[in-house]
A and B are shown apart, each in its own frame.
Chain A
Amino acid sequence: MNDVLYLAWRYLRFNRGKAAVLVGSIGLILFLPAALQVVVRQGTQALTARADATPLLLGAPGSATDLTLAALYFRPPTLEPTRYAEVEHLAASGLAQAIPLHLRYESSGQRIVGTTTDYFAFRSMEVASGRRFAMLGECVLGASAAEALGVGVGETILSSPAGAFDVAGSFPLEMPVVGVLAPAGTPDDEAVLVDLKTAWVISGLAHGHDDVTAPGAEGQVLERQEDNVVANASLLSYTRITPDNLDSFHFHGDPAGFPVDAIVVVPRDRKSGVVLRGRYAEPGGEVQMVVPRAVIDEVVATLFSIRNAILAVSLGLGLATIATATLVFALSIRLRRRELETMRRIGAPRQRVRAILATEILMVVATAVVLASGLTLLVSRFGVSALRLLGS
């Protein structure tokens, strides 16, 4: 038997170019559907896990998918924001914990997530270094965000304008980093977490400035009336919140009317969840309540149909590859007629020659299977990171 293996191996080695092409093409055709299956399975698991961990979402009416993508994956919100009063209503109902999310701004490409400290407990986040945000203006970075921004505890980051034409709206705020989260393998890793009020400061709804009513502020006063002081353009808002100017920060308007992009709703129990869904079920309301798992299931169903289409194409490609490989082997045997004749003349039985040819084919297929398995393993290990890079 060793002689059969030896001769097959020597042949493949001598014709290494042809063997490599065969191994590559067969391996690839095995790898593609397997990798697709792995990626879809892992993606689906991650999607449903994140959705399962988020019982309900409340937001402005519109696409439930867009709301869910924004709240779960911190995608740029496309729906109109809803009012903070909805958070207060939910909390006052006693039926659920309401965690607001403000998602309008970024810092060098990393999403700034304005929320409350309840979010840390809700997502079971662990602070790897530093602490949670405690004072207005502070931020905590997800593990990947810290890496991407190249900053750590004690350093600062700057919020970016909301868009190219946002020359006067948002507030470029310099925020000290007070904590970095441990990696969680979730979109939270990519986030810059701040207090909701800090997000409102960035959006210009709250700000701090010198006291124009104080004596000595004449240089910043355009007009002083009996009961009103009009400041001139030299009065600038602070771009960093410090212990010295913290007291000067104030909100303009009733925070109940301030924006939030989504509200994570965590019912106290199953019954409370049903009651809440009933309350917000009326169509045409100012807000919509969605079950993230149901939304994700719909999207996953679409995902499966895409996967099935790709698998069908792969099957066709596979059959074509097998036919081509069969042709290659058949032609190869014909081209090797003199070589095989020589083998028979020097005493090799016909069965032995067939065994050598079969072993060559087996070696090619086995190598292709090993190659496909190796590549699939790599995808299962690192494909997620690669997709994350593609997605970012």
Chain B
Amino acid sequence: MLLLGFDTATPAVTVALHDGEQVLAQVATVDAHRHAELLAPAIAKVIADAGAEREDLTAIAVGVGPGPYTGLRVGVVTARVLGTALGIPVYGVCTLDVVAAGAIAAGTVTGAGGGEFLVATDARRREVYWARYDPAGQRLAGPGVARPDQVEGRDVPVAGEGARLYPDLLPAGREPVYPAAGDLCGIVAGSLAHSASEGPVPGGTVSPGAGALATGTGLLPPEPLYLRRPDAREPGARKRVSPSCAS
């Protein structure tokens, strides 16, 4: 297995190559405004760093958000195109699950008497994308989008950028701040191993929920989790350009 994974749903552009057992190469850059510029060179770099060829890839893993839309779309369209052009499957993973996996791996949210924890990332407009996890990393609630003071049970440890942005409202901030593509690849590799008997659906998607993970998360189709409708209002009556006539 040679898995290329990336996530662009947060200010970080993170890319990793994974052989099913371990991360072979990984790069990450934090720059909220340059996802499209950074992603393709980073993909080329991790493949070159690992001494691999693009034709060797066996699957693509992509973070599908939730996250601010423009960056998120860069990752999802890149994954879909690579999948179709190379003829390999594409698996989506909730970006918040990637942060949760990173927090569990780093031991930042599961100390003595470890309980539930949250992941919160920046949704802009003074809101966060959030999800709630049990100590094993099973997602219990979310993903959702809410004002930080509206997130239920927010006194638990909180991984992700949300706690850094709103320390007064989400006081128990924990590492990591951003998702890491190595953790994303790990989720997909684990899920594929667990569901080997069922077999992944080729052609770019798996059915949501297929192949439940040890961490309790599942693989998703490569569709963005926008969680909000586009901002657009139907226009009201046209405004006059002439002065109104008194009547």
* A and B from one complex: no
